[in-house]
Chain A
Amino acid sequence: MQDMMLEVKGLTVQFRNEDKEYSVVKGISFHVKKGETLGLVGESGCGKSVTSLSIMRLIPTPPGKIVSGEIRYKGVDLLSLKEKEMNKIRGNEISMIFQEPMTSLTPVFTIGRQLDEVILLHTDLTKKQAKERSIEMLKLVGISRAEQIYASYPHELSGGMRQRVMIAIGLACHPQMLIADEPTTALDVTIQAQILDLMRELKEKTQTAILLVTHDLGVVAEMCDRVIVMYAGEIVEEADVDTLFHNPKHPYTRGLLESIPNLEEKKRRLFSIAGQVPTPDTVIPGCRFRDRCPDAIARCEQEHPELLELEQSHTCRCWLYAE
């Protein structure tokens, strides 16, 4: 397929802790097409950030290791590339916006220098042109006094401004694939609305494919075309956004959707999923959600469920739907 941007197949990532090895991501597969926004949802510890870091080959090794699987970007297997070749793709064709705007910028360099660095590394522009491009990028992300901000240090900016700078850096080389790991989590709602608006605009303009990693279902509903729900290192459900919100199948997805307070209707009590997310090193035979699942049946205890295709492009990992 021509417009396939990113394909992940059977990705398994292990981490080593003292003498134990455990898989944080267990054989997950998905794809993102050109101009599409795929949401990756889950709670902390479900492996969503590890997945996005793996795509960029930024998993610290050791303790982490990609033990199996393929990550194909436009047909090229990223895992087999040399570090030098990977550097050409990273920040240029695929770029990433990290969660923490407070800590992802170097405090000792000006905003301008950090922006220029990316541009100079990946393009043939001269320093002067790079500066022009940087200022243009800052304006694009809605920073009003771009020239002034260009010369400032990160600590002089607010969180919202820093996140916008991060986005400007991420977009400086017009990437074709953008990985945004909780891009708005640290921000206030009014600033979040501005940033989401900006990302949507960019997608429409440049047909960038976006992988949006988040735990905020509101953001997902607003931004994504398709959604993947992860639980304890596995994909438990995948569907287009409308189906996921209006016809969720997996008990975990349903529980998540019911447990968020909602502005439109007032419930006396919120639904809550009992128990807690298992830590990655616990060995659970059968379904990993079983202990917290209100609908668990005997089979869930013994057999590990596979991803079942319920309808076209709607899959779910649950025994309830097996014939």
Chain B
Amino acid sequence: MTESLLEVHNLKVHFPVKKGIFQRTQGFVRAVDDVSFEITRGETFGLVGESGCGKSTTGRAVLNLIKPTSGQVWFGREDLATISPPQMREKRKDMQMVFQDPYASLNPRFTIEQILEEPLKAHQIGDSGQRQRMIADMMDVCGLNRSYLKRYAHEFSGGQRQRICIARALILKPQLIVADEPVSALDVSIQSQILNLLQDIQEEFGLTYLFISHDLAVVKHLCNRLGVMYLGRMAELGTAEKIYAKPLHPYTQSLLSAIPAADPRRKKERILLRGEVPSPSNPPAGCAFVTRCPKAEAICKEVRPTMIQLEEDHGVACHLYT
């Protein structure tokens, strides 16, 4: 059971910065800059990092919602970066997305029934009666009352809406779900309901998740493996167990130390970072983290570190370990 479902090799997504009356390209924002990882079938892979680090862009590039500038995204046996649009359309059945903001990602003019039927129609699955049954089943799975069918999204709370989004993603029976901050807009008591739902449906349908989040406690709870991103690059990659027990990259270390513990008796030793995150359109020449790193050396300013495997399933991109 170590077949990988998704392999991302040297993914780059650069957005051009255009200026002047002729809209000439002045430079590039390197939102994702040479990122590689793979996800095994049935596992939950977490992608963590702070805002602007490129984790959402990576998630979208994986689903081909943004065309990668270069690199490959292997889903099963196909490279999504090169397949034709009709083939891609067919592939989309197998890969779905749950977005962060359940308020903005549901069409306000559609009833719940229409929202859930749309993906089935788009892929011409079943006749009207079969679709009705599939929708009803899916609502049961996601803990939505069947009487909600004719209601509109605005009648629901954030947690309910996120359930609708999950039902919509799940109705095509995908293999991979990319969940981009699915619980960060929700209250604590609702957040745990949705996390439990995500775990339940993963077991029931054998799903694989790419779980994008900035909340390290949630990621630890849910994920088997994870990647820590900083400024468009992968800083550390490995199993959740190893990264949380022994973070290697100075960025991961400070990130973990910065989370406030929900226990007043536990006083944590903080690694406070100084300075600001550099702009991704003008990243430092060497390591992206060099401007804030408490352990930076001369080499970090000049040479960009590569990912080195220190042990099985735990790699880090940092000069301290070379």
A245-B188 CB under 8 A given contacts A190-B273, A194-B273: no
Question: A160 at interface (Cβ–Cβ under 8 A)?
Answer: yes
- In the assembly, what is the distance between CA of A257 and CA of B254, in Å? 25
Question: B70 at interface (Cβ–Cβ under 8 A)?
Answer: no
- Candidates A260, A267, A276; contact of B262 at CB < 8 Å: A260
A260-B192 CB under 8 A given contacts A189-B214, A192-B258, A267-B221: yes
Q: A276 and B157: CB pair below 8 A?
A: yes
- In the assembly, what is the distance between CA of A219 and CA of B264, in Å? 10
Most B CB within 10 A of own CB, among A44, A193, A218, A246: A193
- Candidates A43, A189, A255, A259; contact of B216 at CB < 8 Å: A189
Q: A190 and B264: CB pair below 8 A?
A: no
Residues on B with beta carbons closer than 8 Å to the beta carbon of A215:
187-188
- In the assembly, what is the distance between CA of A221 and CA of B217, in Å? 15
Q: A272 and B193: CB pair below 8 A?
A: yes
Residues on A with beta carbons closer than 8 Å to the beta carbon of B159:
276
Q: A190 and B276: CB pair below 8 A?
A: no
Chain B 169-198, CB within 8 Å of chain A: the 1/0 string? 000000000000000000111111101100
Q: Which residues of A from 286 to 308 have beta carbons under 8 Å from B?
A: none
Q: A263 and B261: CB pair below 8 A?
A: yes
Residues on A with beta carbons closer than 8 Å to the beta carbon of B157:
276-277
Residues on B with beta carbons closer than 8 Å to the beta carbon of A197:
270, 272
Q: A241 and B187: CB pair below 8 A?
A: no
Question: B244 at interface (Cβ–Cβ under 8 A)?
Answer: yes
Q: B214 and A261: CB pair below 8 A?
A: no
Q: B220 and A246: CB pair below 8 A?
A: no
- In the assembly, what is the distance between CA of A74 and CA of B218, in Å? 42
Q: B187 and A43: CB pair below 8 A?
A: yes
Q: B262 and A221: CB pair below 8 A?
A: yes
User: A293: shortest Cβ distance to chain B, in Å?
Assistant: 12
Residues on B with beta carbons closer than 8 Å to the beta carbon of A144:
275
Q: B263 and A193: CB pair below 8 A?
A: no
Q: A272 and B192: CB pair below 8 A?
A: yes
- Candidates A159, A220, A255, A277; contact of B51 at CB < 8 Å: A159
Q: Which residues of B from 21 to 38 have beta carbons under 8 Å from A?
A: none
- Candidates A188, A194, A218, A272; contact of B214 at CB < 8 Å: A188
Residues on B with beta carbons closer than 8 Å to the beta carbon of A273:
189, 192-193
Q: Which residue of B lies closest to A243 (CB)?
A: B264
Give the total of A residues in contact with B, Cβ under 8 Å.
47
A263-B260 CB under 8 A given contacts A161-B276, A273-B189: no
- Candidates A194, A222, A256, A272; contact of B261 at CB < 8 Å: A222
Q: A193 and B270: CB pair below 8 A?
A: yes
Residues on A with beta carbons closer than 8 Å to the beta carbon of B191:
259
Q: B189 and A43: CB pair below 8 A?
A: yes
Q: B276 and A261: CB pair below 8 A?
A: no
- In the assembly, what is the distance between CA of A257 and CA of B179, in Å? 25
- Candidates A159, A245, A266, A269; contact of B199 at CB < 8 Å: A269
A216-B260 CB under 8 A given contacts A158-B276, A194-B273, A246-B265: yes
Q: A261 and B217: CB pair below 8 A?
A: yes
Question: B11 at interface (Cβ–Cβ under 8 A)?
Answer: no
Residues on A with beta carbons closer than 8 Å to the beta carbon of B192:
259-261, 270-273
Q: B276 and A245: CB pair below 8 A?
A: no
Give the total of B residues in contact with A, Cβ under 8 Å.
41
- In the assembly, what is the distance between CA of A309 and CA of B50, in Å? 43
- Candidates B50, B222, B261; contact of A190 at CB < 8 Å: B50
Q: A242 and B264: CB pair below 8 A?
A: yes
- Candidates B195, B217, B254; contact of A263 at CB < 8 Å: B217
Q: A219 and B260: CB pair below 8 A?
A: yes
- In the assembly, what is the distance between CA of A12 and CA of B47, in Å? 44
User: B116: shortest Cβ distance to chain A, in Å?
Assistant: 21
Question: A206 at interface (Cβ–Cβ under 8 A)?
Answer: no
Chain A 235-249, CB within 8 Å of chain B: the 1/0 string? 000000110011000
Q: B244 and A196: CB pair below 8 A?
A: no
Residues on A with beta carbons closer than 8 Å to the beta carbon of B275:
144
Question: B212 at interface (Cβ–Cβ under 8 A)?
Answer: no
A277-B258 CB under 8 A given contacts A160-B276, A188-B214: no
Chain B 230-270, CB within 8 Å of chain A: the 1/0 string? 00000000000000100000000011111111111100001
Give me 30 A-to-B residue pairs in the complex whose CB atoms sit less than 8 angstroms apart, sorted by A's number. Answer: A43-B187, A43-B188, A144-B275, A158-B277, A188-B50, A189-B255, A189-B258, A190-B273, A194-B273, A196-B260, A215-B188, A216-B260, A217-B262, A218-B260, A219-B260, A221-B260, A222-B261, A255-B189, A256-B188, A259-B191, A260-B262, A261-B222, A263-B216, A263-B220, A266-B221, A273-B189, A273-B192, A274-B193, A276-B157, A276-B159
What 10 A-B pairs come out closest when comparing CB atoms?
A218-B260, A261-B221, A188-B50, A259-B192, A193-B258, A272-B192, A270-B192, A43-B187, A273-B189, A222-B260
Interface residues of A (CB under 8 A from B): 43-44, 144, 158-161, 188-194, 196-197, 215-222, 241-242, 245-246, 255-257, 259-264, 266-267, 269-274, 276-277
